Structure 1
């Protein structure tokens, strides 16, 4: 009886770990898709991975919604040349994922060139099978 109970506990632990690893990978995949979509101006991907109630806090203190953020890219106010993730750590809490990371961003913001490292935290929520970004907060690091 003890052997069966131990086997069930190990099997459950293995399944939970495998699911967590799969979810962490899925979140990081969506994060990469989002960064790529920001650079390539792929609005279909941005519409899919940004939640309708997104709050996007930029490192300069400005705040956007999903609609205003996508519009700023369409209007050319915000233009990304490259976004390179340098560090990323995902923590899962049920259907919510918190990502802490550092990325290098080359962009133009209202005509001003930017080449900076950002420390960021973002929050994804799984809606059905899709992870969507609901919050972004970043700050500039010394280069």
Structure 2
């Protein structure tokens, strides 16, 4: 019976009906395959910017527990002088308070999402002391995050000092 009704519809209407049903099936299939966090990039971008700001606060306070949780096991920094600093060495510098940032502000942040990977770029103003020597820097940074077990971890950080004009 249904087949007979379908045969009475013009070829153009058949094509339009099939196209609509196919498009709806593809749309709902894709929505079911994408995790909830990935459906709202605005929320994910805000989460990553919040993490950036919390990371700045953790470095100022020397919050080792936060750093250990945020940094992936393979975390590595390429510092503005070109040196490479491994995860444990970076945590130790903040734990010992050899590095004492007084001020860290991140600005002009942009977030690019690639599924389970995110790249955050921006500008950072840093003021503080390292081994008692004061310093003040304006930097550009690139951070790469990976989403693991439901939360973002920082995999690598690269910074370059901006030239003074």
Within the candidate set 98, 102, 111, 2:132 is matched to: 111
Structure 1 CA distance for aligned equivalents of residues 83 and 134 of structure 2? 17
Q: TM-score under structure 1 normalisation?
A: 0.86
Q: 1:7 to 1:126 in 2, by over 3 A?
A: same
Any runs of at least 4 consecutive aligned residues in structure 1 with deviations exceeding 4 A, and if so which? 2-13, 15-18
> How many Å apart are 1:8 and its aligned residue?
7.2
Match of 1:43 in 2: 64
> How many Å apart are 1:105 and its aligned residue?
0.5
**Quick check: 1:63 aligned with 2:84?**
yes
CA RMSD of aligned residues (A): 2.3
- In structure 2, list runs of 5 or more residues that go unmatched: 1-16
Bigger Rg, which one: 2
Q: TM-score under structure 2 normalisation?
A: 0.75
Q: RCO greater where, 1 or 2, for CA within 8 Å and sep 6 or more?
A: 1
Counterparts of residues 1-143 of structure 1 (less than 5 Å): 1=17, 18-143=39-164
- In structure 1, list runs of 5 or more residues that go unmatched: none
> How many Å apart are 1:27 and its aligned residue?
1.3
Higher strand share: 1
Higher helix share: 2
- Give the secondary-structure state (helix, strand or coil) at the position aligned to 1:26: helix
